[in-house]
Amino acid sequence: MKDFHRGFTLVEVLVVVNILAILFGVATIVSGEYGGEARCMEVHQMLPQIIRAQAYYYMTHNAYFAAGHDELESYGVDVTEVRYFTYSTFPNEFSSFAVRAEATVWADGGWVVYDQKGDPVWRCDGARIERSWLPE
């Protein structure tokens, strides 16, 4: 009489575990690429607030203000929900202003600059924050 054992061998279990580990690793890498782009959406949300604050300040004082992240709230910019960047704004040499967004630890010090001279220009470090993540 034959003796049948039901179940999986150790080799079969190890193969399945290895396949799952590889799939998990690929999923983590792919989701990390989209995470940076999603975090840059915060810049899209904050920039209009800072531009409006600068425009209002310019109308009343005929100059643009310089402010760090903690000072922006005094100019009417809501920074309570900000998680991925710290913001600063400053006048530039072309009688306009620029906004700098420094990434927190998620991008290891990456940065984005929006310069409002003539045609608005976006610049970024290119290594940690990709240009394609920012508006045209």
Quick check: 113 and 68 in contact, CB under 8 A?
Answer: no
What are the pLDDT tens digits along the chain (136 aa)?
566 667 788 898 999 999 999 988 887 776 666 677 777 788 888 888 998 999 999 999 999 999 999 999 999 999 988 888 899 999 987 678 888 888 887 666 678 888 876 566 777 766 666 666 666 5
**Residues 88 and 67 sit within 8 Å (Cβ to Cβ):** yes
Q: Where are the domains of the chain?
A: 40-133
What pTM did the predictor assign? 0.68
List of residues 6+ apart from 30 with CB closer than 8 A: none
DSSP secondary structure string for all residues of 69-90: GGGGGGGT---TT--SEEEEEE
